[in-house]
Amino acid sequence: MAQEPNVIELYEGAVQNMLPILGGIGEDQLTASTPCSEWNVQNLVIHNIKVTGFAQGIIRGNNAVDAMDVSGQVPSEGALDAFVTGTNGVLDLLKNSADLGEVIETPFGKMPIAHFIMFPTLDIVIHKWDLAKGTGQNTDIDAGLAEATYGALQTGAELGRQFGLFAAEVEVSMSASIQDKLLAVSGRMR
């Protein structure tokens, strides 16, 4: 029987991979386009910060954050600091949870916390690539993160499409890299 991935380690890994990308975004790049066609760099930065508040609210059972509302400006403390503060809040909740198997109410239906946290983890991994692509940075996705999130996305891609989160799957060859397969199932092309 395959061992379940450690969702806390996966989330931490996704965060650590995102930090250099956020830190490498210049003020002059905020209006640049991204592969996430409806959003520019600033919109994606704001979305990633808001997803941290969304995740905390869902885990606590009192969500008031619309992670899809990307209006406004990057917080005054800067994208990197705001993202770190938010992700640290998520990690504190996960690490202090008595039971990651506890079933909670989410916009995607009832599920264990451990399953829910894969949504924000996947969001970080995919949008790290979007932001890197939009700002001319390194678009490589850690192979372990790509594999774990690809597995999670395969089961949730259709649900994501129903919510308008992903475009139609792009066809890639069977021999494509795990990163290319992940991007393809999320509706992105390298």
Enumerate long-range contacts of 32-36, CB under 8 Å, 24 or more apart.
Answer: 32/134, 32/135, 33/134, 34/130, 34/131, 34/133, 34/134, 35/129, 35/130, 35/133, 35/134, 35/188, 35/189, 36/127, 36/130
**Number of domains comprising the chain:** 1
**Domain contains 33:** yes
pLDDT score of 1 = 42
Tell whether pTM > 0.85: yes
pLDDT score of 41 = 97
pLDDT score of 107 = 87
Residue 45's closest CA among 12, 73, 65, 87?
73
Could you give the angle at which helices 143-162 and 7-23 cross, rounded to 10 degrees? Answer: 90
Q: Structure tokens of 126?
A: 């995919």
Residue 181's closest CA among 127, 133, 141, 130?
141
Q: CATH number, domain at 93? A: 1.20.120.450
Residue 129, domain extent: 7-136
Give the pLDDT band of residue 80 (cuts 50, 70, 90): very high
Question: Average pLDDT over the chain, rounded to whole?
Answer: 90
**Domain contains 45:** yes
**Domain contains 187:** no
Q: How far apart are CA 97 and CA 100, in angstroms?
A: 6
Radius of gyration of the chain (CA): 16
**Domain contains 165:** no
Exposed, middle or buried, 92 (CB in 10 Å: 0-12/13-18/19+)?
Answer: exposed
Give the tens place of pLDDT for each residue, 3-40.
Answer: 567 999 999 999 999 999 999 999 999 999 999 888 99
Please answer whether residues 164 and 126 qualify as being in contact, where contact means their C-beta atoms are separated by less than 8 angstroms. no
Phi-psi label, residue 4: left if phi above 0, alpha if psi -120 to 50, beta otherwise: beta
**Domain contains 124:** yes
* Average confidence (pLDDT) over 68-88: 95
Give the tens place of pLDDT for each residue, 105-126.
Answer: 998 889 999 999 999 999 999 9
| Of 181 and 89, the one with more pLDDT | 89
Give the tens place of pLDDT for each residue, 138-176.
Answer: 999 999 999 999 888 877 666 666 666 676 677 888 889
CB count, 10 Å around CB of 43? Answer: 18
Give the pLDDT band of residue 185 (cuts 50, 70, 90): confident
